[in-house]
Amino acid sequence: MIEITGRPPELLSAREKDLIHAASCEVLETIGVKVRDPKVIETFTKTGAAMAENGRLYLRTSVVEQALASAPETIRFDAPAPEHAFTLDASAEVARFGSGGQALYLLDRSAGSWERRAAGQEDLVRLLRLCERLPYLDFVTRPVECDVPKERMDEEKARAFAANTTKPMNLANLVDPSKLQRVIEIVGSESYLSFIVCLVSSPLTVDDSAVERLRAVTERGIPVSISSCAQGGTTAPLSEAGELVQLNAEVLFGIAFVQTLNPGAPVLYRGIPLTADLFGDCSPRWCRPDSIRRLTLATELCRHYRLPCCGTAGVSDEREPNAQAIAEKALSLTYVALAGAQYINSAFGMLERVMTVAPAQYLIDNVIIETLAETLKKRHDLTARQAAQQVARAALARFGVDLGPEAESELEAQVAFIEDGREEYSRGALDRELETIGSAVETDGGSRVFMKSSRKGLRAGLLYTGERIQGELDLTCIQDDLESL
């Protein structure tokens, strides 16, 4: 855990946050969410929601407001070792960091180079043990899934956690909700557990397979992060304002479902507005300046609601540990922490846009978070911009990378991109975004609409096009730990 001092980035003004909230409510009331699951329909029609013939459910703003009012501001996370338990307080200025992912590949250091292979059960155990050793890792989210048949996944994962973790356990996914009781028995107590559920898949479509899972954990009052992972340019508008409006609507829908089922059940707001790599294969950009800016904006929105905030930071776009990955992680961790996320997921080990996890990167990330803690301790009045630059510089220096003038100006440019808004936040501008979202959800495969409408924003520079930060890493400061891996 680290204390958050310094000045929050405040990239959005109060007026802009109000505008986004109002537009998100309008999305829910007039564009609606596509639902097939009878339980979701029944739960919401009881609140007065209307179901249209086209399969879309229109949610009343009053239900959203009620949900926001009944969601608790504090959440308890117990742990097998009591010293690791904590209470998350939505108004506290502290940040806690955890692992995360569900990466497909594991990257190991072997004879001085990096080797990538499919990840599985043994890697899960190895990573859980590594998480135990890291002082800045406060909670453990499953980093890779067990490579066992689907029917055994939940139990095997629970067993791996029970045997190797003494910190709060975020199992993230639950393949079979009927296994929840068994999972609780295996780990020892439901108070150790939390989950992540993406109820609404972008754009505005309920994932049927998530409903039972969410119901199961909500009914037992187990903390759950309600997630939306929109991608500007493919599953949401490329415009950051448009993407935020849609993403916020998707998260609010999930929170409203939880609170309607079980008022007062613990929920965390988890908005991950990424951008699609429209220069390449359209896979999401997690840590380019445009994405870092949007992750910061989502954190600010969550704080606006005074909800416990599950932030996302530190998922590098790089394929291997390197200087650029350190810079990306330093900038995103600093911005998201200073914007007020109290529970930062995926902060360890993640590379290649969540596709890969590297044990060595866990060690590097621990150093980056330590650097963040020290930077904020040294001076309490830093702006987010100053803090981010200092953390990036200091973290790179710890791995032997001194920034020359070119890299310095690249770092400046990246931070400037994160700080400086490029869009108008007006009712008129948001109305245009609502139009795009509306037509995307009416078309099969809305990504065609979003991709087409992204052309203007692309030419207006909404995606960062700068360089990467280069430099050879010296891993001496983590050498002992590396060897023990």
Partner 1 sequence: MSERDMLEEIRRSIIMGHLDAEDEGFDGSMEGTPGTVELVEEALEARTEPQQILTVFNAAMEEVGRLFEAGEYLLPDMLASAECVGEAMDVLEPHLAGTADTQKGTFLIATVKGDLHDIGKNIVITMLKGAGYQVRDLGIDVPADDIVAAVKQHKPQYLGLSALLTTTMTEMETVIRKLKEAGITDVKVIIGGAPTSEEFAQKIGADGHCRDALEAVEKLEALRSAS
Residues that bind ligand B1M (CB under 6 A): 102-104, 145, 173, 198, 201-202, 207, 209, 229, 231, 235, 281-284, 353-355
Please say whether the dihedral angle defined by the alpha carbons of residues 170, 175, 180 and 184, taken in this order, is positive or negative.
Answer: negative
- Between 319 and 432, name the residue whose CB sits nearer to ligand B1M: 319
- Secondary structure (3-state) at 172: strand
* Distance between CA atoms of residues 24 and 16, nearest Å: 12
C-alpha 393/C-alpha 460 separation (Å) is 30
As measured in angstroms, the least distance from the Cβ of 157 to partner 1 is 13
From residue 440, alpha-carbon distances to 21, 118, 205, 235, 426 in Å are 20, 35, 12, 9, 21
Give residues 75-104 in contact with partner 1 (rule: CB under 8 A).
Answer: 104
Interacting partner of 135 out of partner 1, ligand B1M, none (Cβ under 5 to 8 A depending on kind): none
Q: Residue 244: what residue type?
A: L
Q: Angle at the Cα of 408 (from 402 to 413), degrees rounded to 5? A: 150
Using rule CB under 8 A, residue 451 touches partner 1: yes
Q: Closest Cα to residue 357, out of 408, 401, 385, 316?
A: 316
Q: Which is nearer to ligand B1M, 105 or 383 (CB)?
A: 105
User: Is residue 141 near partner 1 by the rule CB under 8 A?
Assistant: no
Cβ 252 to partner 1, closest distance in Å? Answer: 20
Contacts of 262 (CB under 8 A, 6+ apart): 218, 219, 221
Q: How far is the CB of 198 from ligand B1M (least distance, A)?
A: 4
Phi and psi, residue 453, nearest 5°: -75, -5
Minimum CB separation of residue 383 from partner 1 in Å reads 34
Which one of partner 1, ligand B1M, none interacts with residue 103, CB within 5 to 8 A by kind?
A: ligand B1M
Nearby residues of 421 by Cβ (< 8 Å), 6 or more positions away = 11
CB 100 within 8 A of CB 109: no
Write down the least CB distance from residue 76 to ligand B1M, Å.
Answer: 23
Convert 25-48 to b/e letters by CB count within 10 Å (16 or more is b): bbbbbebbbbbebeebbebbeeee
DSSP 87-103: EEETT--EEEEB-----
Q: Min. distance of Cβ 34 from ligand B1M in angstroms? A: 12
Q: Is 420 exposed, middle or buried (0-12, 13-18, 19+ CB in 10 A)?
A: exposed
Q: Could you say which residues in the range 146-165 bind partner 1, by CB under 8 A?
A: 147, 150
SS percent in the chain: helix, strand, coil, step 5: 50, 15, 35
Kindly tell me which of 120 and 221 has the beta carbon lying closer to partner 1: 120
- Rule CB under 8 A: choose which of 16, 138, 145, 320 binds partner 1: 145
What minimum distance in Å lies between the beta carbon of 177 and ligand B1M?
Answer: 13
Quickly count: other Cβ atoms within 10 Å of residue 423's Cβ: 14
Chain positions 335 to 354 lying near partner 1, rule: CB under 8 A, are none
When the beta carbons of 16 and 317 are compared against ligand B1M, the nearer one is 317
Nearer to partner 1, 65 or 435 (CB): 435
- Partner in contact with 453, chosen from ligand B1M, partner 1, none, beta carbon below 5 to 8 Å by kind: partner 1
User: Pick from 22, 68, 175, 477: which binds partner 1 (CB under 8 A)?
Assistant: 175
* Interaction partner, residue 354 (ligand B1M, partner 1, none; CB < 5-8 Å by kind): ligand B1M
Give whichever of 5 and 173 is closer to ligand B1M, judged by the CB atom: 173
Question: Is the Cβ of residue 194 or residue 231 nearer to partner 1 in the bound state?
Answer: 231
Site residues for partner 1, window 201-220 (CB under 8 A)? Answer: 201, 205, 207-209
Per partner kind, with CB cut-offs from 5 to 8 A, the member of ligand B1M, partner 1, none near residue 452 is partner 1
Q: Which does 278 bind (CB under 5 to 8 A by kind): ligand B1M, partner 1, none?
A: partner 1
When the beta carbons of 72 and 143 are compared against partner 1, the nearer one is 143
C-beta of residue 264 within 8 angstroms of C-beta of residue 76 = no
Residues making contact with partner 1 (CB under 8 A):
104, 145, 147, 150, 175, 201, 205, 207-209, 231, 233-235, 276, 278-282, 355, 444-445, 447-448, 451-456, 458-459
